[in-house]
Each structure stands twice: as C-alpha cells, then as structure tokens.
Chain A
Amino acid sequence: MTESPAPPYVDDLEVGDRGPSRSLVLTRTDLVRYAGASGDFNPMHHDETMALAAGMPSVFGHGMLSAGFLAGAVTDFVGLGTLTRFRVRFTKQAWPDRTLTTEVEVRALDPDSDGANVELDCRVVDDQGSVILTGHAAARLPRRTEKAAT
C-alpha cells in the first residue's frame, strides 16, 4: 500500500508542468480482474475465442480500465478528493502484453470553470505509439493563503 501525498498548492504549479507517470504491462489477468471488479463481462475483454470470431486479433482492455488507471495517475498529481471533472475519450484498443503509460500535464491555471483552479490534459499511450485514450481533468487545489497574508 502507498500513502498519498497531500495535494499540491496551486501557487506552485505552472502551465506545462507534468505529473508523475504510471506504467503497466497489460496482462489478460488484468482484464479478468477488471471484469470482476467492475461487473463488465463483455466477452470481448476476456473470451479469446469470441474476440477472434468477431475479427479481433485478441481480447482487449476495457476502456474504463485504462480510464481508471489514468485516474490513478491524475490523483498522484492533484491528490485525493480535489477533482471536479474527469473526462476521457477512447481512441484505440489496449492490447494485452503492451506497456501502457500515462501522461498528465497542466493545461491551464485559474480557469473560470465551476470552482476549479487547475486544468490538466492527460492521456494513455502504449509502447507502439498508439494513443489509447485522451482526457481532461479539472481540480480545486489549496492556495498558500497564509503566505499571501504576510
């Protein structure tokens, strides 16, 4: 288990700053674990015979598995409980045995949007150069108010 660091102060961030990256070699066991944990038993994600019959080269990852993995990386950056928005668009399948890597970057600070004070661009790419999903997140981070007061 890992402890989460406290959320960063928004004052300490700059546009273009990158959050810590996560990597994962996706296995078929990961797909089965996510199927059970999510209740999503679409056979395309665990039944190789059916996936091949549907014209796929193999089973492939749930989009929401990649999204959940990316959400973990976003949380590593902005901390627990600060998100106001997280949206993802699925672009390519995540194939077993490929390495998935997250990228999280500050897009804007103090945007005028529903109380959030930081916006992030984020995505998951694989080791063949495919973009698996792209996303955006918004968060409400603490400010160094005590410093401003002195």
Chain B
Amino acid sequence: MSLEDLVGTRIPPRVVTVERGPVVDFSSAVKDERSEYRSLAAARSAGFDRIPTPPTFAFVAPNKGSFVDDQPEVPSDAVALVELIAALRDGREGMILHGAEDFTYHGPVCVGDTFDVTGYVESAQTKPGTPEQPGMSVLVVRTDFQRAGTDEVAVTTRSTFLFRPARSK
C-alpha cells in the first residue's frame, strides 16, 4: 500500500472532557500565568461564563480528558495515530518530526466542555528527493472538536508529521 492510499483513513474517535486541573497545569507548563485560566471569578470578570483554555490546549485535550467510560466503539477501519506515523516511516531509518500545527477556532473551548473528537488523514505524500537525500514523507491529520450533542465544531486542528529518511550511504 502506498502512503497516498492512507488519505481518508480515520483515527479512532474519542469523547474528550475539559477538566479544570489539566487546564491549570497546562497553562503553567506553557508559562501563561494569566488568572482567567485559574479562577472562575477572573474568567467572569473578563466576560466568560466558564474558565477558558489556552489556544493550544486542544492539541493535548485528548491526552488529558479521554475517560474509558465515555469512549465510543472504535470503527473496524480506524487506524491509531501511532500506526499512521509508523506507516510514514515504512520501516526505513530516519527521523519522525512534528512539522507544523494549525488551529482554526470557531468557538470557545472551556472547562466543563465535552467534545466528540474525530480525525482523518487529510493528505499524505512523499516528496521528490535526490540520489543523496531521499524525499520527505508528509502526513496531515485533521481533527475536529465537535461540541457533544450539537453540530457545532469549536476547533479544527491540522497536524503535519514528517519523516525524513536517513541520507543514502
């Protein structure tokens, strides 16, 4: 199977809840100490009805808020992200890199929110190389954070992963 055949492949869907503790820890880890991420009173003073989250929190939210009791059945054709990245490597020597990350915001992500998170391979290609340096392989995974029980997508992320093959001997 060629890399291009992965286009359209779904990753396992998840139900993700945004909890208060992870938002505080994450904002400290990215050195953003603003009080609105820590205090409901401060968030309300700034015009929010709940505690907002830092702009890049959505990227980690599935790691911090996927609870086993809430998870949907995994479709049989879904492929885990780590397996997609392994397919990018395709057994070759070289390095996997996170090349780029792109967030599109349609609505707020706040403490207490629950999202149906779905994703799929939006593009996959191997770039032309040279005899000395084989071309990079590039995989873009699109993920949508849809507010549970609604058709409102709050955030879309596009994650670009690169595989840079080792130089030819």
Please report the number of residue pairs spanning A and B whose Cβ atoms sit closer than 8 angstroms: 119
Binary interface encoding of chain A residues 29-48 relative to chain B, with 1 for a CB under 8 A from any of its CBs, else 0: 01001101111100000000
| Residue pair B55, A40 in contact (C-beta under 8 Å) | no
| Residue pair B31, A87 in contact (C-beta under 8 Å) | no
| Residue pair A36, B33 in contact (C-beta under 8 Å) | no
Number of interface residues of B (CB under 8 A): 38
Classify chain A: how many residues form its interface, as a range.
35 or more
For residue B98, CB closer than 8 A to chain A, the reply is: yes
| Residue pair A89, B100 in contact (C-beta under 8 Å) | yes
Q: Which of B6-14, B72-80, B103-111, B113-121 forms contacts with chain A?
A: B103-111
For residue A1, CB closer than 8 A to chain B, the reply is: yes
Known: A64-B101, A67-B101. A38 touches B29 (CB 8 A): yes
| Residue pair B29, A80 in contact (C-beta under 8 Å) | no
B44–chain A nearest beta-carbon distance, Å:
12
Residues facing A in B83-102 (CB within 8 A) are: 97-102
Separation of A67 and B59 alpha carbons in the complex (Å): 11
Binary interface encoding of chain B residues 19-48 relative to chain A, with 1 for a CB under 8 A from any of its CBs, else 0: 000100110111111111011001001111
| Residue pair B29, A34 in contact (C-beta under 8 Å) | yes
Question: What chain B residues lie within 8 Å of A4 (beta carbons)?
Answer: 34-36, 46
A39–chain B nearest beta-carbon distance, Å:
3
What are 13 A-B residue pairs whose CB atoms fall within 8 Å in the complex?
A36-B29, A37-B28, A64-B60, A64-B101, A67-B101, A80-B34, A81-B48, A85-B104, A86-B102, A87-B100, A87-B101, A88-B101, A114-B104
- Given contact pairs A80-B34, A84-B104, A89-B99, a sample of 17 additional A-B residue pairs in the complex whose CB atoms are under 8 Å apart: A1-B34, A1-B39, A3-B34, A3-B35, A33-B29, A34-B30, A36-B25, A38-B26, A38-B59, A39-B60, A64-B56, A68-B26, A69-B30, A75-B55, A80-B52, A87-B102, A88-B102
A-B complex: 9 closest residue pairs judged by Cβ atoms: A39-B63, A68-B30, A37-B29, A72-B32, A87-B102, A1-B35, A71-B55, A38-B60, A37-B25
